[in-house]
Amino acid sequence: MADVMIQTPYLLYLGSTSDPLAIKTSRGIAMFRQQDCVGEFVRGEDCLTLGLPRMSFAEAAKAGAKTLVLGVASAGGALTDELVADALEALEAGLDIASGLHGRLRDVPALVEAAERNGRMLFDVRDPSGDLKVGNGKLREGRRLLTVGTDCSVGKMVTTLCIEAAMKARGYNADFRATGQTGILIAGSGVPLDAVIADFISGAIEELSPPRHDGGWDLIEGQGSLFHPSFAGVSTGLLHGAQPDAIVICHDPVREHMRGLPHYQVPTLARTIAANLEVARLTSPDVIPVGIALNTSSMSEEEGRALCEAIGREHGLPCVDPFAHGADPIIDRIDECFGNSTQSTRRSA
């Protein structure tokens, strides 16, 4: 099914989850592809909401929805009994199903049978290509920016998409390169990096961001964190394969510990910058930081701007909440360091 496009509009699935971070896929789609979302499905009145019209599967199909996106994160990425039951009901209502979970829709016989019987499609977004190669680290034409983080789930995808929009507004040739299920559903293509066998991670990113000769930028969505014991391996391979000219460091200033690991503290920004530069220099010796992106959604605008200004002064980098305040200061730094979109190039090996 890899060559078949996922049909829009979407109905976004929130289910019965109570963890705001667990619905980041649905939230990301609602933020950046709201025009393709007819509504949301929730299981109870007190459940989380994205502010979209609440619909049953039948109501959504009648309103024109084509695909139910299972935009939630379950424990271990499993297809729970609740998810399967709801997906079966949606198939019967005439909707395709798209899932970014580690558990595969195609591995549930009841879903396969219901899809065939109703003439519907099942899309497992976390299926990487079967012909990936190992990375080679050769310098390649074009400019690349990679978002990195002090932790996972700190806004790397949002930051990358905001930078893309800001660069395009300046006349840059700039393209978002998705590496996670949410980004893939937003962009329509990408590599589900956490489903790639470890030996092929850097090669998958080299393939995702091949040489370009138009003076433009590939803006590569970061994953995980070098400081998260569960996901540091993915972050390392991504840094090597991305071969970034520039990195932007993403951070949640109210995060009390690494996500899911209360026994691990969040690293400082200074330590995060230094570590990411050191790892990136294996394949990109001249990489530089061009900004810090904060998630200030839990603060007032005044508090958020004041914190950004203080952190920016401390580290000598532009610091913004790119979704709340815009990414222009980061683009200004890119202009200063690399020139405009028609001048950006790099030597090949």
pLDDT class for 75, splitting at 50, 70, 90? low
Parse the chain into domains and list their residue ranges: 10-124, 143-338
pLDDT in tens, 312-328: 999 999 999 999 999 99
Q: Is the C-alpha dihedral spanning 276, 278, 281, 285 positive or negative?
A: positive
For 10-124, which CATH class?
alpha beta
pLDDT at 339: 84
pLDDT higher than 60, residue 345: no
pLDDT at 15: 84
Mean pLDDT of 50-69: 94
Q: Architecture of domain 143-338 in CATH?
A: 3-Layer(aba) Sandwich (3.40)
pLDDT class for 2, splitting at 50, 70, 90? very low
pLDDT at 1: 37
pLDDT in tens, 256-313: 999 989 999 999 999 999 999 999 999 999 999 999 999 999 999 999 999 999 999 9
- What pTM was estimated for this model as a whole? 0.85
Mean pLDDT of 144-158: 96
* Domains 10-124 and 143-338 fall in the same CATH topology: yes
Mean pLDDT of 119-132: 87
pLDDT at 73: 77
pLDDT, mean over the chain:
91
